[in-house]
Amino acid sequence: MTTVVATRRKKGAGLRAIPAWIYVLVSALLVLPPVAWVLSTSLKVEADTIDFPPAWIPDPFSSGGYAGLLTSTNIRFFVNSLIYAGGSIVLALLICIPAAYVATRFRSRRMETLMTGILVLSMVPAIVVFIALYSMFVQTALINTYPMLIVVYTAIICGQTILFLRNFIENIPVEIEEAAAIDGCSRPQILMRIVLPLIRPGIAAVAIFIFVFVWNDFLVGTVLATTEDMKTVQNGIVRYISTGFGNFWALFSAFVVVAFLPVLGIFAAFQRWFIAGLTSGGVKG
């Protein structure tokens, strides 16, 4: 009896899944072709990239696009993005963890107002503040420097980071902290020795999130980095198609692929944290 029910259910589920799989198929047809095309272009010799009609399978295969990426300018793009991302992760955690902690544990009307203010400000259109920052600092030595861009990235990501960390801190039983306080721990000690270890998964998720955000950002680098040697990976991608000097489609495609690899790698490696971070952080944000 039970087996019959089980099989019937299974069968029904299988049939019911058909529309779902059709949907998945349609999505694949909308998502994959441009990606496949870039992948294919990246493996062609430069002259073949502008053949018409186009060939999907490169003939001959060439790794020239990838080899050609190894220029000091390109490497600089990657190094810059790493510095921006790393710096933003450190700075954002450094300033957001204490803020998230007191915002969760020492609620007052004023604190809520401040947190709402921070949240509202993080929703200001980025282009508005970038342009003002650009014109404010273009005449100073601050523009086009690592600290400047790191602070800007941090500010943009801070609102969400605090929200997300608050969710984590809320889940820590207050009793633990109170016990620690009775043992004579000061507030910074409680934060360092009790809260921090407990929210480690949250910190990891936030770090991943910030990395992907900074790595994928185009606009900050476009506006606030003013020489090629301070620009980011995303600026590097667009550079290939906007300079107007000859065709570099194979190089361009290879660059796109290589620039995507770190994000893809992180996603594959930390998929669970990644998704958890995005879903929970996002709903509140």
Contact with other proteins (CB under 8 A) among 6, 11, 59, 120: 120
CB of 273 to other proteins, least distance (A): 13
Q: Is 124 helix (H, G, I), strand (E, B) or coil?
A: coil
CB of 161 to other proteins, least distance (A): 10
Of 37-76, binders to other proteins (CB under 8 A) are 37-38, 41, 47, 49-54, 56, 68, 71-74
Segment interacting with other proteins, rule: CB under 8 A, options 138-146, 164-172, 200-208: 138-146
CA distance 126 to 135: 14
Residue 103 binds to other proteins (criterion: CB under 8 A): yes
Q: Which is nearer to other proteins, 37 or 61 (CB)?
A: 37
Residue showing tokens 């050609």:
68
Contact with other proteins (CB under 8 A) among 87, 195, 210, 258: 87
CA distance 229 to 271: 32
Of 2-31, binders to other proteins (CB under 8 A) are 13, 16-17, 19-20, 23-24, 27-28, 30-31
Of 144-173, binders to other proteins (CB under 8 A) are 145-147, 150-152, 154-156, 158, 162
CA distance 217 to 126: 11
| Burial class (CB within 10 angstroms; exposed 0-12, middle 13-18, buried 19+) of 140 | exposed
Residues in binding contact with other proteins, number by CB under 8 A: 135
CA distance 121 to 136: 19
CB of 202 to other proteins, least distance (A): 15
Of 216-235, binders to other proteins (CB under 8 A) are 216-219, 222, 226-229, 234
Quote helix, strand, coil % in the chain, to nearest 5. Answer: 80, 0, 20
CB of 280 to other proteins, least distance (A): 6
Sign of torsion over alpha carbons 49, 51, 56, 58: negative
Produce one character per residue of 60-98: b if its CB has 16 or more CB atoms within 10 Å, e if not: eebebbbebbeeeebebbbebbbbbbebbbebbbebbbe
Of 238-267, binders to other proteins (CB under 8 A) are 238-239, 241-247, 249, 252-253, 256, 259-260, 263-264, 267
